[in-house]
Chains A and B, each alone.
Chain A
Amino acid sequence: MRLPDRLAIGDLLGTATIVALGLFALFLLVAPSVIVLIISFDTRAFVSFPPQGFTFDWYLRVFEQRVLVEAMLNSLQVGITVTLLCIILGVPTALVCVRGQFRGTTALSIFVLIPHMVPGIVLGVAVLFAAAAIGVSPSIGLQSISITVFVLAVMVRTLMSRLQRMDPALEEAAANLGASPFQTLRTVTFPLLMPAILAGAVFTFIEGFDNISVAIFTHGFRDRPLPVELLALVQTTNTPLVAAVSGVQIVLAIVALILVASSIGLDGVND
């Protein structure tokens, strides 16, 4: 039998290292969620690992507690509002940043990024003070707007990268075939942007649903969003109920991703 030469051994080691690192990264990404999910089915009334027994009770309890259900509905409302606002504001912004023919488009695209670079807590405090100064009190609306400001960059960046990779000849072809600028936008640019819009929508929705750093300062006094409620819960109880609430959020995120991935393909999400 011939021994593989040095190069082949080197290759083998290199490949093994990369695979091992990859598996480790995957473990780091998945393990916390898996552990939370496992704990949420525990029969004991305190958080501990490994669990003993299996029950759906905690999930039923989540939906029995009015506070938690209302918090979920609040978060859902914020998530949807943030997503819609990001689409309405993000599409024109991205179009201007990429296709704009005037000076300052680069400045604008950086400007949109700034709120996302500022720590969420700082942004939250800033919004709270600013709102107080003009006599606006925290509410679902204020929370939605401030999270929109926070995550608009994600939507704009996603759309911009799609626009930049779009063959400019497509829009020229539309014009050459008789389409007015608006018709070109409606029949060519928008349909081709759709996968990126959906991908951006997933991320902005999830951010709107479970952001806490901005939300904790801007949410309405009576309208607590789920993450804030969860934080309060963790501070007062040590039952797997907390894990079950997290479980609901994990499942929601997975469902959202699967929905979008199946309608536009994974490539679209990767945009």
Chain B
Amino acid sequence: MTLARDLSLASAADAAQVLRIDKVSKRFGTFTVLDDCSIDVSEGEIVTLLGSSGCGKTTLLRCIAGFLTPEKGAILIDGRNTIPVPVNRRPVGVVFQSYALFPHLTVEGNVAYGLKMHGVPRREIARRVADALASVSLRGFETRYPSQLSGGQQQRVAIARVLVLEPRVLLLDEPFNALDAKLRGTMQVELRELIKRLGMTAIFVTHDQEEALTLSDRIAVMRGGRIEQVAPPDEIFDRPATAYVADFIGLSNFIPAEVRDGKVTLPDGQTLATEAQGPVRVMIRPHNLRAIPQGPGPWQGQVRFQRNVGPLIEYTITAGQSDMHVVALRRDRIRPWGEGDAVSLEVIDPEFCKVYPEA
């Protein structure tokens, strides 16, 4: 019944929609790992599943690949329900966290593997393998075995091995984990460019928010098997839908407050209109706060800690009971505050604060 509705929706509403995850739930025994997860992914889009360890990212990915079958919900690719389709018939390519390269096959053998399984003629296999290896700059490595490759090269073989089959959706489970920090940064940018150049649709899994911000067109923040918010990176950062997302992405200050007449009063006296009611928490980003010379203002504090991070200065300022994070741009002519200095705090733009109901 839902399937019929989804099919008509998929064909009518959005022709460019490639993957639809519709109200998927998955349990292991009595433990619910995925709870009513829905995401729509359109053609050529890169979506990241972001969340802390154990929140169900890998499980959702494995449901899409077909290694797991969800108890409830549907997973549609190009409008067709894939739940009854066996793993080896799904138009989905998986890049495993361990890369899972076949150790007994050469680079060429690994990349040709899928084509052979699909019964592609020999000639065509050779041509397509060469193209795939060229697209990941691995020409000349054909006869090497996986154990003779660096981590970065192994990763590229793993990618070439699925790209060569031209899957509709590419699934990557923490593909940068095995790489050292420096290589990780360059590979992230390279991989995004490659996927964009090929016009592939991809889902990345990561628990590293910087990686998510680098790679994604949209980020799905997961928490305890539920999807908290799906939105582009800047929206996730600037307008987090829930306090959890705000806390998870970037550094945040949370201040308890009370709503009166549809308004909250910030500690520095400014007010902010809100639709929330009762006790709330106001989220203020560190770069939306300013430390000024101590004046008559109502929000007084003392610098507890300061450090230079390249172009920024980070302060921890003790104000009343709580520690506030403040970030300022480093400028030549302004002397930074030192530890122990007494300051006043003020919010730069109240509209940029977010109000969440008290949990």
**Considering the chains assembled together, what is the distance between the CA atoms of A167 and B94 in angstroms?**
15
Q: Known interface pairs A176-B88, A178-B88, A179-B88. Does A169 touch B96 (Cβ–Cβ under 8 Å)? A: yes
CB pair B104–A178 under 8 Å, yes or no, is no
- The residues of A that contact B162 with a CB separation of less than 8 Å are 176-177
Chain A CB within 8 A of B194 CB? no
How many residues of B are counted as interface, with CB atoms below 8 angstroms from the partner's CB atoms? Answer: 23
Check A173–B100 contact: CB distance below 8 A: yes
Contacts A183-B117, A187-B113 known; A176 to B94 CB distance under 8 Å?
Answer: yes
Q: Mark A171-191, 1 if CB is under 8 A from B, else 0.
A: 011111111100100011001
Partner among A169, A178, A187, A188 whose Cβ is within 8 Å of the Cβ of B98: A169
- Contacting residues, chain B, for A180 (C-beta < 8 A): 88, 117
Minimum CB distance partner of B67 in chain A: A172
Q: Given that A172-B96, A177-B113, A187-B113 are contacting pairs, would A192 and B104 also be in contact in the complex, using a CB cutoff of 8 Å?
A: yes
Docked-complex contact B96 and A177, CB < 8 angstroms: no
Given A167-B98, A169-B98, A170-B102, A176 contacting B92 (CB threshold 8 A):
yes
| Interface presence of B118 (CB below 8 A) | yes
Cα–Cα distance between A174 and B116 once the two chains are bound (Å): 11
Residue among B93, B94, B102, B103 making CB contact with A172, cutoff 8 Å: B94
Q: Which residues of B contact A187 (CB under 8 A)?
A: 113, 117
Asked if B114 CB lies within 8 Å of chain A CBs, one says yes
A178 partner, pick from B102, B103, B114, beta carbons under 8 A: B114
Closest to A183 in B: B117
A residues within 8 A CB of B102? 170, 173-174, 188
Q: Using known A-B contacts A172-B67, A183-B117, A187-B113, determine if residue A178 contacts B100 with beta carbons closer than 8 Å.
A: no
Residues from 213 to 237 in A contacting B, C-beta threshold 8 Å: none
- Give the residue of A167, A175, A178 whose beta carbon is less than 8 angstroms from that of B118: A178
Distance of A170 Cα from B67 Cα, bound (Å): 13
B98–A176 touching, CB < 8 Å: no
Q: A167 touches which one: B93, B100, B104, B113 (CB < 8 A)?
A: B100
CB distance from B91 to the nearest CB of A (A): 10
Q: How far is the CB of B101 from chain A (nearest CB, A)?
A: 8
Main SS class of interface, A:
helix
Alpha-carbon distance between A271 and B25 when the two chains are bound, in angstroms: 41
Q: Nearest-CB distance from A152 to chain B (Å)?
A: 26
Contacts of B89 in A (CB 8 A): 178
CB distance from A189 to the nearest CB of B (A): 11
Residues of A within 8 A of B67 (CB): 172, 175
Shortest Cβ distance from residue A27 to the other chain B in the assembled complex, whole angstroms:
37
Nearest-CB residue, chain B, relative to A178: B117
Closest beta carbon of chain A to B97's beta carbon, Å: 8
**Separation of A187 and B103 alpha carbons in the complex (Å):** 12
For residue B165, CB closer than 8 A to chain A, the reply is yes
Chain A residues with CB below 8 A from B161, complex form: 173, 177
Q: Residue-by-residue, is A98-124 near B (CB-CB < 8 Å gives 1, otherwise 0)? A: 000000000000000000000000000
Check A176/B103 contact, CB under 8 A, given A167-B98, A169-B96, A169-B98: no
Q: How far is the CA of A178 from the CA of B88 in the complex (A)?
A: 4
Docked Cα-Cα span, A183 to B114, in Å, equals: 11
Question: When the two chains form the complex, which single residue of B93, B97, B104 contacts A176, counting CB atoms closer than 8 Å?
Answer: B93
Least distance between B178 CB and chain A CB atoms (Å): 13
* Contact A176–B65 (Cβ < 8 Å): yes
* Residues 93-125 of chain B, each 1 if its beta carbon lies under 8 Å from chain A, else 0: 110111010111000000001100110000000
Q: How far is the CA of A173 from the CA of B96 in the complex (A)?
A: 8
Q: Is B65 a contact of A177 with CB atoms below 8 Å?
A: no
Residues in A neighbouring B118, C-beta threshold 8 A? 178
Chain B, residues 141-170, CB within 8 Å of chain A (1/0): the string is 000000000000000000001100100000
Q: Which of A169, A179, A191 contacts B100 (CB 8 A)?
A: A169
- Cα–Cα distance between A188 and B87 once the two chains are bound (Å): 16
Task: For the complex, give the distance between the alpha carbons of A183 and B102 in Å.
Answer: 14
* Distance in angstroms between the alpha carbons of A169 and B146 in the assembled complex: 15
Cβ–Cβ < 8 Å partners of A178 in chain B: 88-89, 114, 117-118, 165
- The listed residue (A169, A172, A174) touching B113 by CB distance below 8 A is A174
Seen from chain A, the residues whose Cβ lies within 8 Å of a Cβ on chain B are 167, 169-170, 172-180, 183, 187-188, 191-192
Give B residues with C-beta under 8 Å from A: 65, 67, 87-90, 92-94, 96-98, 100, 102-104, 113-114, 117-118, 161-162, 165
5 A-B interface contacts by CB (under 8 A): A172-B87, A172-B96, A173-B102, A174-B117, A179-B113
Q: A176-B94, A178-B114, A179-B88 are in contact. List 18 more A-B contacts (CB 8 A).
A: A167-B100, A169-B100, A170-B100, A170-B102, A172-B65, A172-B67, A173-B94, A173-B96, A173-B100, A173-B161, A175-B88, A176-B92, A176-B162, A178-B88, A178-B89, A178-B118, A180-B117, A183-B117
